[in-house]
Structure 1
């Protein structure tokens, strides 16, 4: 593999990362204005950013998946279901995250947080007292938080009134939730919760493991963003 092709996914991730912040803006615009175009644009942007590293490899399969998925999104929008598609995105994201963190906790696997530490700081960091144990506990934390978030979002999607799935099916909701509150949490509040948990954990880790040096918040965010394909594959950082 040439140096250009080897570095393309990493540089692509970094270049596309700022566009991720456009997703909650478009999603909230779609929820508030009830315009299908905003909802479709939010979903298309999210899909493109997440698939950018794979698309940068120029292989036919990722491009085929991207085109087909966009076509399905367009079909749903044509039939007036873009709003439902948008409502399901936060649930799908949290289910995916819960699965990624949870599966990495299986016997014989390296916890996802440990992979991140190895990718950013090298395998020797995991040998420092307390780091490997903390990485496993933190992986459990994110797996449970993402699972709980997915459950809450699913309940909101079902029980929102008006506009919830139960309401649309003519079924009385056991826990009626105002539609505005449900949409605000799904498209803003849920992301604020995750961001707050990330920041609080960052400062807690610097205090709890204060006997070692830690990367800055900026280095951590950029490092994870540019190395996440390798982290998901479980590649050894020392071998790259």
Structure 2
């Protein structure tokens, strides 16, 4: 199977597994969801038959199996919806420092076949603002997931620390927000931004969305490795 397709399928499977695990309080599904994260991270070395990657997956699988009956699994399941958005937010925010080129400016420069510094001023300002927007939105998503994870019952962080929250939400509500609604919010922002971009920059060469995705893919692995540094 193609590595990119495998990573996509695993990425789609994670929120579904995590939501079902939280809604049903099922430690087996929780273990599968956490193992799915490891597979997403290691899918490329696994495809290359890297013995270290296969050993790591085996060790994690055994470890998750051994702690199925403990309180650790529900707590671990609370962490990815907080840490992952913050990690991606940091990836955007670090390119906003003085002397750095905003992440989306780099990508648009690749699409425009020019250096980011050569983008027209209006487009340069827009891409910087969009990079800032994603940094703020993803940080907010992580904060919201942390707040709900603290007061969720019965498997929230405060409950496991022995401090039942004064205000609480059912675990399934946390799961709907952290494992499913977040993706809807991100998707909605992407659609609204795309429509706004069509109005603000009608002369740009990526009006057609499938063509826009094709152009992104055509930039090639070397470009993306350089952009993500």
| TM tier relative to shorter chain | 0.7 to 0.9
Distance 1:205 1:155 in 2: 33
Instruction: Indicate if the aligned counterparts of 2:109 and 2:119 stay in contact, CA closer than 8 A.
Output: no
Aligned to 1:104: 95
**What are the ranges of 5 or more consecutive residues in structure 1 without an aligned counterpart?**
1-10
Aligned to 2:134: 142
Aligned to 1:8: none
Structure 2 SS opposite 1:104:
helix
Out of 160, 163, 175, the position equivalent to 1:183 is 175
Distance 1:14 1:120 in 2: 23
Note closer, same or farther for the CA distance 1:122–1:202 as it changes in structure 2 (3 Å cut). Answer: same
Aligned to 2:194: 202
Over the aligned positions, Cα root-mean-square deviation in angstroms equals 3.3
Structure 1 SS opposite 2:79:
helix
Instruction: Indicate if the aligned counterparts of 2:85 and 2:141 stay in contact, CA closer than 8 A.
Output: yes
Distance 2:50 2:143 in 1: 35
Instruction: Indicate if the aligned counterparts of 1:120 and 1:224 stay in contact, CA closer than 8 A.
Output: no
Deviations 1:75-125 (A, max 9, x none): 544645322222211111111111101111122222111232234443257
Q: CA deviation at 1:215?
A: 5.4
Distance 1:78 1:166 in 2: 19
Q: CA deviation at 1:44?
A: 2.2
Distance 2:83 2:228 in 1: 25
Instruction: Indicate if the aligned counterparts of 1:125 and 1:131 stay in contact, CA closer than 8 A.
Output: no
Deviations 1:11-46 (A, max 9, x none): 622553243212222122212222222222222223
Aligned length: 227
Distance 1:226 1:84 in 2: 40
Distance 2:105 2:53 in 1: 28
Out of 23, 26, 36, the position equivalent to 1:32 is 23
Note closer, same or farther for the CA distance 1:195–1:51 as it changes in structure 2 (3 Å cut). Answer: farther
Q: 1:62-211 alignment to 2 at 5 Å?
A: 73-77=64-68, 79-123=70-114, 127-129=118-120, 130-211=122-203
Q: CA deviation at 1:173?
A: 2.2
Structure 1 SS opposite 2:96:
coil
Structure 2 SS opposite 1:123:
coil
**1:45 and 2:36 aligned:** yes
Distance 1:225 1:28 in 2: 34
Instruction: Tell which deviates more after alignment, 89-98 or 67-76.
Output: 67-76
Q: CA deviation at 1:140?
A: 0.4
**1:234 and 2:227 aligned:** yes
